[in-house]
């Protein structure tokens, strides 16, 4: 399979059959080979620098019912919360002190926050912290809303596509949600001028090498600036409670392939990866990741934003987590930089 990995490096694309066989039939040795190549590519572009994003999970109310997600609306056990603009700004202030220059506002699809409210939050952050980037991750909206948030100063938008295979998408979501609509949102966001992030869970129920091959083809077509992937982890209050979690090994291999295909892409080592392995983030970096997104939400709400079971870093204060992370990153020969951490073109 080394020749396919070389081909992916050279051409930045493979056919669907080639991706499928590479994902299905690779050896441990191929994983090492891919990780080494991926790390070299990332080092050549981003050096030893790791970008950090302060994640503010500002609401766990959600109008959707994604089958895998712990904050789905039908989970009656979830203890719901919302942060006010003032609370969000406090998180940013604390984050700024700790060296964060990107704030990611993530939440369920919560109609409580009108477009005006989101615009107001974005404007307030951008005027107080003019050297910071604001990333939104608040789901599927109308083009007009996306445009308004962008005009208010939002720089980036994260919306994982979850799977690029239609049939698979329907097995993970209720009928009112469609892959077509989600993909449209991503193309619209790019069109408006956002730096865009898509992504998927590794090892989600019904995922196959073939659906993953389609993810790679979709990502190649969309050309996002970021791709977020992390293992699927079952949540006890969902219908997938008894499904198996995605593995560390497969997540690392797919991270490497993403880096080899989309050389400059911003690639986070996710919290889900740290949750399935105590040094998951460090291993993610060694496989080609160059971003980490620690939590900045107030500690009293942290454990309520549970998309999956066992999530790490829910008890730590922002400062503790920040320093812990720094040590972890240094332990593998990298360092955190105080920077917006924008996508690099060359």
Minimum CB distance to ligand 5AD, residue 121 (Å): 19
**Cα dihedral sign for 20, 24, 27, 29?**
positive
Residue from 246, 239, 237 nearest 304 by CA: 237
Residue 103 near residue 122 (C-beta atoms within 8 A): no
Residue 68 contacts which entry, ligand FES, ligand 5AD, none (Cβ below 5-8 A, type-dependent):
ligand 5AD
252 scored as a contact of ligand FES (CB under 6 A): no
Beta strands in 226-339, from DSSP E residues, in sequence order: 226-231, 291-292, 335-337
In Å, the largest CA–CA distance within the chain is 54
Residue 272 contacts which entry, ligand FES, ligand 5AD, none (Cβ below 5-8 A, type-dependent):
ligand 5AD
- Looking at beta carbons only, is 120 or 316 nearer to ligand FES? 316
- Looking at beta carbons only, is 85 or 160 nearer to ligand 5AD? 160
**Which of 313, 337, 340, 343 is close enough to bind ligand FES by CB under 6 A?**
313
321 scored as a contact of ligand FES (CB under 6 A): yes
Residues that bind ligand 5AD (CB under 6 A): 68-69, 160, 162, 201, 230, 232-233, 235, 272, 307-308
**Which of 30, 316, 330, 342 is close enough to bind ligand FES by CB under 6 A?**
316
65 scored as a contact of ligand FES (CB under 6 A): no
- Looking at beta carbons only, is 57 or 162 nearer to ligand FES? 57
Task: Give the number of C-alpha atoms closer than 13 A to the C-alpha of residue 152, restricted to the C-beta side.
Answer: 21
268 scored as a contact of ligand FES (CB under 6 A): no
- Looking at beta carbons only, is 41 or 59 nearer to ligand 5AD? 59
Residue 307 contacts which entry, ligand 5AD, ligand FES, none (Cβ below 5-8 A, type-dependent):
ligand 5AD
Residue 100 near residue 315 (C-beta atoms within 8 A): no
- Looking at beta carbons only, is 122 or 158 nearer to ligand 5AD? 158
Supply 316's token pair: 């730590």
Chain residues 278-297 in contact with ligand FES, contact rule CB under 6 A: 294
Burial of residue 114, with CB atoms counted within 10 A of its CB: 0-12 exposed, 13-18 middle, 19 or more buried: exposed
Residue 131 contacts which entry, ligand FES, ligand 5AD, none (Cβ below 5-8 A, type-dependent):
none
Residue 203 contacts which entry, ligand FES, ligand 5AD, none (Cβ below 5-8 A, type-dependent):
none
Task: Give the number of C-alpha atoms closer than 13 A to the C-alpha of residue 290, restricted to the C-beta side.
Answer: 28
Q: How many residues bind ligand FES (CB under 6 A)?
A: 7
Residue 213 near residue 20 (C-beta atoms within 8 A): yes
Phi, psi of 235 (to 5 degrees): -115, 130
- Distance between CA 197 and CA 204 in Å, rounded? 19
- Looking at beta carbons only, is 267 or 325 nearer to ligand FES? 325
Q: Report the 10 Å Cβ neighbour count for 101.
A: 20
Q: State which H helix or E strand residue 122 sits in.
A: helix 115-128
- Looking at beta carbons only, is 69 or 118 nearer to ligand 5AD? 69
3-class secondary-structure state, position 133 = strand
Minimum CB distance to ligand FES, residue 304 (Å): 17
- Distance between CA 337 and CA 99 in Å, rounded? 8
Residues near ligand FES (CB under 6 A): 294, 313, 316, 320-321, 324-325
């Amino acid at each position: 399979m080394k020749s396919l990995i070389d081909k992916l490096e050279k051409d930045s694309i493979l056919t669907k059959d080639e991706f499928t066989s590479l994902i299905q039939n690779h050896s441990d040795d191929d994983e090492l080979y891919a990780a080494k190549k991926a790390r070299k590519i990332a080092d050549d572009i981003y050096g030893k620098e790791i970008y950090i994003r302060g994640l503010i999970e500002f609401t766990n109310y959600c109008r959707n019912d994604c089958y895998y997600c712990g904050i789905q609306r039908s989970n009656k056990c979830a203890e719901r919360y919302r942060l006010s603009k003032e609370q969000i700004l406090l998180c940013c202030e604390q984050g700024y002190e700790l060296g964060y220059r990107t704030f990611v506002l993530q939440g369920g699809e919560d109609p409580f926050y009108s477009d005006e409210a989101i615009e107001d939050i974005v404007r307030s952050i951008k005027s107080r912290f003019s050297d910071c980037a604001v990333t939104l991750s608040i789901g599927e909206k109308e083009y007009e809303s996306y445009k308004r948030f962008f005009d208010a100063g939002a720089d980036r938008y994260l919306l994982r596509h979850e799977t690029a295979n239609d049939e698979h998408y329907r097995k993970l979501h209720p009928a009112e949600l469609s892959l077509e609509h989600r993909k449209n949102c991503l193309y619209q966001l790019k069109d408006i001028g956002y730096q865009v992030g898509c992504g998927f869970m590794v090892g989600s129920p019904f995922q196959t090498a073939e659906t993953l091959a389609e993810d790679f083809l979709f990502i190649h077509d969309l050309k996002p600036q970021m791709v977020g992937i992390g293992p699927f982890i079952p949540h006890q209050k969902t219908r997938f409670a008894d499904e198996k979690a995605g593995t560390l090994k497969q997540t690392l291999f797919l991270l490497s392939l993403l880096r080899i295909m989309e050389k400059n892409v911003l690639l986070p080592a996710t919290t889900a990866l740290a949750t399935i392995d105590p040094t998951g983030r460090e291993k993610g970096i060694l496989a080609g990741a160059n971003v980490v997104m620690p939590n900045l939400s107030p500690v009293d709400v942290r454990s309520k934003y549970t998309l999956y079971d066992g999530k790490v870093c829910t008890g730590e204060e922002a400062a503790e987590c920040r320093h812990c992370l720094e040590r972890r990153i240094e332990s593998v020969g990298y360092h955190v930089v105080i920077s917006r951490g924008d996508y690099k073109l060359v």
